[in-house]
Structure 1
Amino acid sequence: MCLGIPMQVVAIDGFNAECEARGVKRNVSLFMIGENEVEVCDYVMVHVGYALRKMTPEDARLSWELFDEILAVAGE
């Protein structure tokens, strides 16, 4: 099973971006979606260091809510 994590872009340098989610920062490649498709403050779905697609803030929030529910059930 593959898992993509919603992250917010905080800086862009060509095809590379610094992204953040819940206090964790990662360097992410924008090669899969193109360097001009994403701007600082946008949200992207990240998998193994690559941004796969741009997403809305609402989609990112809903994804994190689902992750929280899964983790809560798994912890019971």
Structure 2
Amino acid sequence: MCLSIPSKVTKIDKETNMATVDTMGVSREAALDLMEDGDVKIGDYVLLHIGFVMNKIDEEDAMASLDTYKEIISLMDEEERQKAILEDNESPTKGA
């Protein structure tokens, strides 16, 4: 099962159509190919799936989701935490 953690867009590369996002302190790249041109801007919160930005989420909903994830993660041991946060780093767009 894949749970999408809200991620904040920190950079957009228009040439490659990729966004750099921050997911709970982890930086990664995500393709913008499934979004309308100009729909995603720096500072937006987005949801990812297999390395693609799937949709935007408003900041209030993003913060509520992140608070829930932080609560869940606080109950995990360190190995489980790292796996949960880094789990989707191996995306098909990585290195593309």
Could you tell me the TM-score, scaled by structure 1's length? 0.83
1: CA distance between counterparts of 2:10 and 2:74? 29
Q: Which runs of 5+ in 1 are unaligned?
A: none
The match for 2:9 is 9
Residue 17 of structure 1 contacts residue 28 of structure 1 at CA under 8 Å; is this kept in 2? yes
1:25 paired to 2:37: no
2: CA distance between counterparts of 1:43 and 1:29? 14
What amino acid is the match of 2:42?
V
The match for 1:54 is 56
Amino-acid identity (%): 35
Q: Which runs of 5+ in 2 are unaligned?
A: 78-96
2: CA distance between counterparts of 1:73 and 1:24? 19
Residue 5 of structure 1 contacts residue 47 of structure 1 at CA under 8 Å; is this kept in 2? no
Residue 31 of structure 1 contacts residue 50 of structure 1 at CA under 8 Å; is this kept in 2? yes
What amino acid is the match of 2:63?
R
What amino acid is the match of 1:58?
E
| Large movers: runs of 4+ above 3 Å | 72-75
2: CA distance between counterparts of 1:60 and 1:11? 18
More helix per residue = 2
- Output one character per residue of 1:21-59: Cα deviation in whole Å (capped at 9) or x when no partner: 222100111111233111111110112211110111111
